[in-house]
Structure 1
Amino acid sequence: MPYPFVLPTTSSFSFSTFFTSDSHPSLPLSASTYRGVVRETLKSHKRLPPSSQSSNLSSVLQSLNNYVPYLLAVDAGLSGQTVAGEHVDVVLKSTPALEWRPTISDNLVPGREMARVKIQSLEYEIYFVLSSLAYTYTLLARASLLPLYSSASASPSTEQRTAAITTATRNLLMAASIHDYLSSRSETLATDSPCLDIAKSTFRALTSLALAEATLLAVLKDDPYPAAVAQDRNKNDKDWMIKAPEIPKVRAHLFARLCLAAAEHAANASSLLRAKVGKGKINDNLLKYADDLRRTGRGKACRFFGIDAELGGQTGAAIAWMHAGLQELGLGSGEESSKKGLGFSRLKKDWSEKREDKKIEKGAAWGSDAGKFEEARVLEMLEKKWSKENDTVNTQHVPPSGPLIATMPSGREIHSLKPFSAPDLEPQILESMRAPPDRNDDYGNGGSSDEEGDVQQAVGAFPGTKDDYAGHGRYY
């Protein structure tokens, strides 16, 4: 958590070939220049090993933020709108031709990347660029949270943990605002988008997904149990938990309501992502993540209702809530585990947990379970502790978990999205572009749009590699 998005890549493009401006002649060239930087940055980022990509996100963010004002200035000039209070005149000479490679649509050919999507509208260019910006903010949130789960070093202090969660929340809310802006902007288009990555339903789904993640982080900031479990499993940690964490009763109930709100956002995202809109479908990994995030939210809610019950002296009900939480996570209930002991499902769960731990250690593709296994560890820890107390001190009846789940209330919101403010060019920069361009715009001559340094497929592994047998060292 959050979702490990893959940044899209794009072909080269020359604005001067398709656009001209009498009021600001240098605007098309400037837009091409900054777009060229974005293209090279995304291409270089893709070539990096997964463990090194986090440190490169700042460069990606800077290149996108530098390009967006120029792109929106060209779009505003086409629409006859003002930029920074100044009239900009942009004329379309011919229909533009751009290419972007989608990353969240399902792959139609196993073993190969999605084919590039050809777009002929500057509006879709805006969608891809701003989507890339939102993905980058989400990936920055992931990078902030990694130290909280990594066992490569000692557990972070309370202050470091709070700072990391605050930073991640801010980045996720920014990503949600961008997706929400794109969703509103796409309402004006009557035609269907060329791919699901930039469809209106996808923007709405990703807004809900980012809100769900940010809501769970609001709970995590003051939730001591995940930190305690992570600390207990961290071999490099020298501090030991002396007593069980304490959560005030009122806040435990509040946290449960927040978790239910996150689950509702995730359920909405899952529904929108599965909706049949045009051709193709969303990548299975993203669909599974949205469903797992919903399960995690409801599992956490059950845990906090259990904590609330245990603080009130209802140990039996608290244990039942832990069973309900495991059931909501789709990992079976504690009732079944106590009867069956170590079965195949338990071994499968342990294997999945170890695989997720290895991903965290490598710092790549971790969190694809949306925190489901981490929450399961907390539920099992509390269920074991309370069951031991209930068996030895004050034995209470443990009710069935089904009726408890039916009594869960609705969620409660904590975040409100701030509208995304599209950046404008600085007045002095806009004024400087009234001068004619000082060089030719050759950014459309960057070679094949498919040259990204991708790993070449084995000869003969897929149709279309016949030329490789003739000694041509190039893959198309």
Structure 2
Amino acid sequence: MPYPFVLPTTSSFSFSSSFTCESHPSLPLQASTHRGVVRDTLKKHKRLPPASQAASLSTVSSTLQTYLPYLFAIDAGLSNRPIHSDEISVILQTAPQIEWRPTLSSSLLPGREPPRVKINSLEYELFFALSTLANTHTLLSRAALQPLHLTTTAPVGTAARQTAIATATRHLLAAASIYDHLSARAASLPPSSSSHPPPCPDIAPPTLRAQRFLALAEATLLAVLKDDPYPAAVAQARNPHDTEWMYKAPDLPKVRAHLFARLCLAAAEHAAQAHACALAGRVEGGFVRYVEDLRRASRARACRFFGIDAELGGETGKAIAWLRAGLGELGVERREGERSGGGLKGLRKEWSERREDKKVERGLDWGADGGRLEETRVIEMLEAKWVKQNDTMLTQPVPPTGPLLAQMPSGREIHSIAPYQPPLLSPEVLEAMRAPPDGSDEFGTYPSSDEETAVDASPAGAYPGRSATGTPGYF
């Protein structure tokens, strides 16, 4: 958690080949220059080892944010919208020919590159650029949260933990704002745009809404994680570098436990909406599984907080029932009288937990299960403690879980999505682009950003360094 997006890559493109600007002749050249920087940055990011990609996310974000004002300026010129009361006259000469390699909707085998898609509209270039920036914000939130899940170093302090969660929340809300803007923009497209449907599910309106709901669900869960001591306590017990081998059981006020349960239910509702939108957008593979796992983990966490609320009120039997309801939400099946962590199932569970810890350490796709493993650990820790306490002292009956689940209240929202403000060029930059361009942005035939070698322009049948007629060429 959050979702481990893979950033797309794109081909080279010259804005001057499709657009002219009479009022600001240098605008196409400047847009092509900054787009070339974005293309190279995405290419370099993709070629980095997975463990080193987090360090380049800030560069990807800054290059996209530098490119977007020029892209919005060309879009404003095509729509006859002024920028800072400055009229921009952009004329479309020919339909642009741009290629992007989608990553979200690809269902190919691992190691296989998904096919590139061609777009012939500046609108979808804007959609790809903005969605890539939103995905980068989500990956930045993952990078901020990774130290909290490490078990090979000393535990993170309280102040650093709060700062990391606040940073991750800010990035997730920024991503949700961008997705919300894209969804509204897609809904406001004129009917004539129906002749040019989205080239792939990655930027289809249902997929954008799904990512908006997902970012909001993950931000809501972080509001709970900020004051939830139990995941840290479980990680602390597995950390060999932890010097506090004896620590006080986490305390949670009763009122906040009930509040946190309702926040988790709100996150589960957002995840359910994201799942429905993803299916409507025909997205397959890991994204749909992650959203469903996040919904299950959110409902299980709500059951845990209801159990904590009951245990603080002296109803240990009811608290145990809530925990078992949470295990049912997670899909953990257990027979009557069966203990957790025994036999072959226990060995398999221990192996999966170690594999997840290694993923966190190496910076790979940790948390791809939507937090189900982490929540299972917390619930089983509390269940073992409360069952022992109930068997030795209280001996309260454990009620069935069905009626408890039927009594669940509705979720409660905590975050609101701020409207996204498209970045605009400053008046000084716009005025400077009234001058003729210093050169041309015709870059020629360059390969896609996914390819290492240059394109050989020799005709078919010619040897390297020779023309088709056999005359010597240039090496």
TM-score normalized by the length of structure 1: 0.91
Q: Distance in 2 between matches of 1:104 and 1:282?
A: 7
Aligned to 1:238: 243
Q: Distance in 2 between matches of 1:164 and 1:110?
A: 32
Q: Distance in 2 between matches of 1:296 and 1:120?
A: 41
Q: SS at the partner of 2:442?
A: coil
Q: Distance in 2 between matches of 1:144 and 1:44?
A: 21
Aligned to 1:290: 291
Contact 1:228 1:241 in 2 (8 A): no
Please list the CA deviations of residues 216-246 of structure 1 after superposition, one character each: whole Å capped at 9, or x if unmatched: 0000000011111111111112123422111
Q: SS at the partner of 2:99?
A: strand
Contact 2:41 2:60 in 1 (8 A): yes
Q: Distance in 2 between matches of 1:196 and 1:330?
A: 29
Please list the CA deviations of residues 73-103 of structure 1 after superposition, one character each: whole Å capped at 9, or x if unmatched: 0010011111122111101111111000001
Q: Distance in 1 between matches of 2:111 and 2:237?
A: 40
Q: SS at the partner of 1:82?
A: coil
Displacement of 1:193 after TM fit? 1.0
Aligned to 1:59: 59
Q: Distance in 2 between matches of 1:449 and 1:340?
A: 51
Displacement of 1:421 after TM fit? 0.4
Out of 251, 258, 261, the position equivalent to 2:256 is 251
Unmatched runs of 5 consecutive residues or more in structure 2: 454-459, 465-475
Contact 2:21 2:89 in 1 (8 A): yes
Please list the CA deviations of residues 110-153 of structure 1 after superposition, one character each: whole Å capped at 9, or x if unmatched: 75211000000000000000000000000000000000001231
Q: Residue 401 of structure 2 aligns to which amino acid in structure 1?
A: S
Distance 1:381 1:193, change over 3 A: same
Q: SS at the partner of 2:380?
A: helix
Aligned to 1:164: 164
Please list the CA deviations of residues 297-330 of structure 1 after superposition, one character each: whole Å capped at 9, or x if unmatched: 0010000000000000000011111111111111
Aligned to 2:456: none
Cα RMSD for the two superposed structures: 1.9
Q: Distance in 2 between matches of 1:453 and 1:241?
A: 55
Distance 1:330 1:363, change over 3 A: same
Aligned to 1:267: 272
TM-score normalized by the length of structure 2: 0.92
Please list the CA deviations of residues 18-62 of structure 1 after superposition, one character each: whole Å capped at 9, or x if unmatched: 101110000000000000000000000000000000011010001
Please list the CA deviations of residues 408-433 of structure 1 after superposition, one character each: whole Å capped at 9, or x if unmatched: 11110000000000010011011100
Aligned to 1:447: 446
Q: Distance in 1 between matches of 2:109 and 2:347?
A: 33
Displacement of 1:435 after TM fit? 0.3
Matched, 1:324 2:325: yes
Q: Residue 104 of structure 1 aligns to which amino acid in structure 2?
A: L
Q: SS at the partner of 1:87?
A: coil
Displacement of 1:356 after TM fit? 1.4
Q: Distance in 2 between matches of 1:329 and 1:241?
A: 30
Q: SS at the partner of 2:394?
A: coil
Q: SS at the partner of 1:369?
A: coil
Distance 1:84 1:152, change over 3 A: farther
Q: Distance in 2 between matches of 1:139 and 1:204?
A: 18
Q: Distance in 1 between matches of 2:340 and 2:224?
A: 33
Q: SS at the partner of 1:151?
A: coil
Q: SS at the partner of 1:289?
A: helix
Moved over 6 A (4+): none
Q: Distance in 2 between matches of 1:137 and 1:337?
A: 46
Q: SS at the partner of 1:415?
A: coil
Q: Distance in 2 between matches of 1:402 and 1:373?
A: 23
Q: Residue 172 of structure 1 aligns to which amino acid in structure 2?
A: L
Distance 1:242 1:342, change over 3 A: closer
Aligned to 2:467: none
Matched, 1:120 2:120: yes
Q: SS at the partner of 1:99?
A: strand
Unmatched runs of 5 consecutive residues or more in structure 1: 455-466, 472-476
Aligned to 2:76: 76
Aligned to 2:416: 416
Displacement of 1:355 after TM fit? 1.9
Q: Residue 388 of structure 1 aligns to which amino acid in structure 2?
A: K
Q: Distance in 2 between matches of 1:109 and 1:58?
A: 29
Out of 221, 229, 233, the position equivalent to 2:226 is 221
Q: SS at the partner of 2:100?
A: strand
Q: Residue 116 of structure 2 aligns to which amino acid in structure 1?
A: R
Distance 1:108 1:338, change over 3 A: closer
> What aligned pairs does 1:30-429 form with structure 2 within 5 A after superposition?
30-108=30-108, 111-189=111-189, 190=191, 191=194, 192-275=197-280, 277=281, 281-333=282-334, 336=336, 338=338, 342=342, 345-429=345-429
Q: SS at the partner of 2:303?
A: helix
Q: Distance in 2 between matches of 1:48 and 1:109?
A: 20
Displacement of 1:204 after TM fit? 0.5
Displacement of 1:354 after TM fit? 2.3
Q: SS at the partner of 1:422?
A: coil
Q: Residue 213 of structure 2 aligns to which amino acid in structure 1?
A: S
Distance 1:432 1:391, change over 3 A: same
Q: Distance in 2 between matches of 1:450 and 1:60?
A: 14
Contact 1:10 1:100 in 2 (8 A): yes
